[in-house]
Amino acid sequence: MTSQSIDTPAPAHPRPEAPAVVEVAAPMTHPEIMRALSGLLLGMFAAILSSTIVTNALPRIIGELGGGQSAYTWVVTATLLAMTASMPLWGKLADLFSKKLLIQAALSVYVAGSLVAGLSQNPAMLITVRVVQGIGVGGLIGLSQIILAAMIPPRERGRYSGYLGATFALATVSGPLIGGVITDTPWLGWRWCFYIGVPVALAALVVLQRTLRLPVTRRAVRIDWTGALLVSAAISLLLIWVTLAGDRYDWVSWQTVAMVGGSVALGALFVLNEARADDPIIPLRLFRDRTISLTSAASLLVGVVMLSGTVFFSQFFQLARGQSATMSGIMTIPFIGGMTLTSTASGWLITRTGRWKHWLVAGGALITAGSALLGTVRYDTPYWRVAVSMAVLGAGIGMLLQNLVLATQNVVDARDLGSASSVVAFSRSLGGAIGVSVLGAVLAQRVGGYTRDGLAGLGPSDAAGAADAAGGGIPDVAALPEPLRTVIEGAYGHGIADLFLYAAPAALLALVITVFVKETALRTRA
């Protein structure tokens, strides 16, 4: 009896399954949930922090390690690749093995990668261990949502998922601020950007070991390693293309044809493999449900808008408005405030009313409006207008971020909870990676064009000086004389605003998709 698979029918012996059903259905008390949730929040904070904390420290890191622009790009891309590609596998493992053991393994991988990253002696070593970090981060982000769903029924999950959304927002926006302060502090230095998450992750390990109590269902199946390899290869090749296109080669080039064609071919092989696998990494039957298909598509588009905001706000305040790394973090508080407020408030109200669709639609409307408003700002726009626009965008993301996951988890069977949750998180991460890569390339092009236009209005000597200042990469705006500084600030202010205009159609499409999501009553059992 103990070796019987959960997937094997046993009509002659129905009663032995009863204890497992009772154990799964037994609700956790609010204090028990909050104690376990504190461990998840610590792990989530450490994971997201590691992805954003290097934003302001990278110029110093790459300079000291002797790397160039290619290394600069790959330190960021390596983590995104590993995080995005590993999410489906973590989700599938959560359907097969102990979720508690898995998240502890993800935390351990993250700690090991962080410690070695802080000891890096050259760019190649740093990029390699950032891949290890990314694998751990992918597990932490995906498993946090899955464990929350295993602990709490959908009807009560809203108020608790709001805490995850608020933590995600806090770590995303505060990362660049913390990284800037650490890098500028002589007795710390950039290596502490990697070390600082280690004690947080270790604390999460201890808390989860003491507080997380979940039933373990082991299934006697084989992991679809072929599917995991194919999906990882397809996504990695696609992300490598969007990262390097426009920089190392033209968007329309033989490299583009080779990489996009290769990614499509690998994706087709993955679909064929999943259709035939006994227990696939991403069960294709999930997409027969309209809710899962629509929420996954909306999550991808939200990822484009969300990551664009968190990455490029820092550049806007530092390069277009001449603020320090620390001050630029402070000036993004309206964005994080909007995300935190609506993520928490919508969760509580969903728990009270049981209604959730109108939050998705309202969130889609707000991210569309916020993107359009940010598309109108310039380097000299009054800060209150920028702050209001950021708050609107943040509020919309807060309404969508966790509630798209909630809508998905509400319609899947328990056996597919991990896979379905990871699909939504995977889609958001993929959208963010593509958005940052593509919009980053567009930004370089737009800034170059606006700089040339600005130089046309200067004298020959000033124009030559500005070209020298801006030609070697990201300029030191504070060191430029006034006429040149205005040109560079104007170029970055206008260029970054254009990115939000390009992101606005993605936000609008997300809004349209949420309209077609069917609202179903939230289940009262986990």
Residues 270-285 have pLDDT tens digits of: 889 888 877 777 778 8
Q: Domain boundaries in the chain?
A: 26-212, 282-521
Name the band, by pLDDT with cuts 50, 70 and 90, for residue 364: very high
Angle at 173 (CA atoms; ends 322, 48), nearest 5 degrees: 135
Tell whether the model's pLDDT for residue 451 goes beyond 70.
Answer: yes
Name the band, by pLDDT with cuts 50, 70 and 90, for residue 20: very low
Question: pLDDT tens across 478-515, in order?
Answer: 667 777 778 888 888 888 888 899 899 999 999 999 99
Residue 378: exposure state from Cβ atoms within 10 A (0-12, 13-18, ≥19): middle
The reply to whether domains 26-212 and 282-521 share a CATH topology is: yes
What percentage of the chain reaches a pLDDT higher than 90?
Answer: 13
Mean pLDDT in residue range 369-378: 92
Backbone phi and psi for residue 186, each to the nearest 5 degrees, phi listed first: -55, -40
Question: pLDDT tens across 109-135, in order?
Answer: 999 998 998 898 888 899 889 889 989
Question: pLDDT tens across 287-317, in order?
Answer: 888 888 999 999 999 988 887 666 678 778 8
Mean pLDDT in residue range 171-175: 75
Check residue 309 and give its pLDDT. 65
Tell whether the model's pLDDT for residue 21 goes beyond 50.
Answer: no
Tell whether the model's pLDDT for residue 455 goes beyond 80.
Answer: no
Given a contact cutoff of 8 angstroms between Cβ atoms, the answer to whether 447 and 491 are in contact is yes
Helix (H), strand (E), coil (C) string for 431-496: HHHHHHHHHHHHHHHHHHHHHHHHHCCCCHHHHHHHHHHHHCCCCCHHHCCHHHHHHHHHHHHHHH
Check residue 477 and give its pLDDT. 67
Check residue 280 and give its pLDDT. 78
Check residue 17 and give its pLDDT. 36
Q: Which two tokens stand for residue 155?
A: 């009807």
Interatomic CA distance for residues 340 and 165, integer angstroms: 7
Say whether pTM exceeds 0.85. Answer: no
Name the band, by pLDDT with cuts 50, 70 and 90, for residue 247: low
* Domain 26-212 CATH (choose: 1.20.1250.20, 3.30.43.10, 1.20.1090.10, 3.90.230.10): 1.20.1250.20
Is 3.40.50.720 the CATH number for 282-521?
no
The whole-chain average pLDDT of the chain stands at 79
| CB neighbourhood size of 203 (10 A) | 16
Name the band, by pLDDT with cuts 50, 70 and 90, for residue 221: low
Lowest mean per-residue pLDDT among 74-88, 216-230, 251-265, 332-346: 216-230
Tell whether the model's pLDDT for residue 27 goes beyond 50.
Answer: yes
Check residue 22 and give its pLDDT. 33
Check residue 23 and give its pLDDT. 39
Lowest mean per-residue pLDDT among 195-204, 264-273, 377-386, 470-479: 470-479
